[in-house]
Structure 1
Amino acid sequence: MSMRDFPSCFGENGVQVADFSSSSSNRTAQNLVTCVYQCRLRGRTCSVTVTWSKNLMGQGLSVGIDDTNQCLCKVDIKPWLFSKRKGSKSLEAYYSKIDVYWDLSSAKFGSGPEPLEGFYVGVVSNRQMILLLGDMRKEAFKKTGVTPVASNAIFVAKREHIFGKKTFSTKAQFCDSGQLHDLMIECDTSGVNEPCLVIRIDTKPVMQVKRLQWKFRGNHTILVDGLAVEVLWDVHNWLFGTSLGNAVFMFKTSLSAEKMWASQPVLDPHTMHLSWSQRFRDSQSQCLGFSLILYAWKNE
Structure 2
Amino acid sequence: MVSASSLLLPSSVRDFASCIGDGAACTAPSSTRTRRGSAAVQAQPSTLSVTASYRVALASSSSPPLQLRLTWAHSPLGPTLSFSPSASGRKVLVRRRRGSCSVPSSGEDEAVESESELSASSPRLALFWDLTAARFDPAASPEPVSGYYVVVAVESAEVVLALGDLAAEFVKAKFEGTTQIPMAAPFARGERVVVAVSSGAAAAVTHTARARFAEGGAEHEVSVGCAPGGGGGGGGDELWVSIDGKRAVQARRLRWNFRGNQTVFVDGEPVDVMWDLHGWWFRREPPAPGCAVVMLRARSALESRLWLEEEAAAPAFSLLVEAFKSPP
Q: How far did residue 259 of structure 1 move?
A: 1.0
SS in 2 for 1:116: coil
3-state SS of 1:294 partner: strand
Amino acid at match of 1:151: P
Which is worse superposed, 167-176 or 201-210?
167-176
Specify whether residues 225 and 8 from structure 1 end up closer, same or farther in structure 2 by C-alpha distance, changes over 3 A only: closer
Query: What letter is aligned with 1:230?
Result: D
Summarize the alignment of residues 108-187 of structure 1 with structure 2, pairs less than 5 Å apart: 108-110=135-137, 111-125=140-154, 126-146=156-176, 147-151=178-182, 153=184, 155-164=186-195, 165-173=203-211, 174-187=213-226
TM-score normalised per structure 2? 0.67
Partner of 1:21: none
The structure 1 residue matched to 2:295, chosen from 250, 262, 267, is: 250
Matches of 1:280 and 1:62, distance apart in 2: 31
Within the candidate set 243, 246, 249, 1:207 is matched to: 249
Alignment length (residue pairs): 253
**Distance of 2:309 and 2:91 partners within structure 1:** 20
Maintained 8 Å contact 2:149/2:166: yes
| Aligned match of 2:68 | 48
When Rg is computed on C-alpha atoms for both structures, the one with the higher figure is 2
Measure, in 1, the Cα distance between the counterparts of 2:308 and 2:223: 22
Q: Deviations over 1:25-77 (max 9, x none)?
A: xxx9981111111122433222111111112221111111138xx52x44210
Equivalent position to 1:85, from 87, 93, 97: 97
Q: Deviations over 1:155-207 (max 9, x none)?
A: 21111113444222222212344322222222223754321212111221111
Give the Cα separation in 1 of the matches to 2:105 and 2:326: 41
Distance 2:181 2:188 in 1: 20
- Give unmatched runs, 5+ long, in structure 2: 1-6, 13-44, 107-121, 196-202
Unaligned runs of 5+ in 1: 1-6, 13-27, 79-83, 264-273
Higher relative contact order (CA 8 A, sep 6+): 2
Matched residue of 1:55: which SS? coil
User: AA paired with 1:142?
Assistant: K
Contact 2:204 2:226 in 1 (8 A): yes
- Provide TM-score, normalisation by structure 1: 0.73
Pairing partner for 2:126 from 95, 99, 104: 99
Contact 2:102 2:123 (8 Å CA) reproduced:
no
Distance in 1, matches of 2:229 and 2:246, equals 24
Which segment drifts farther, 108-117 or 162-171?
162-171
- Evaluate the alpha carbon distance shift between residue 66 and residue 199 of structure 1 in structure 2; reply closer, same or farther with a 3 A threshold: closer
- Aligned partners of 1:192, 1:88: CA distance in 2, in Å? 56
Which residue among 31, 38, 51 is the counterpart of 1:34? 51
How many angstroms apart in 2 are the aligned matches of 1:289 and 1:160?
Answer: 17
Q: Is the 8 A contact 1:90 1:100 kept in 2?
A: yes
Q: Is the 8 A contact 1:232 1:251 kept in 2?
A: yes
* Kept in 2: contact 1:120–1:133 (CA 8 A): yes
Of Structure 1 and Structure 2, which has the larger fraction of its residues in strand? 1
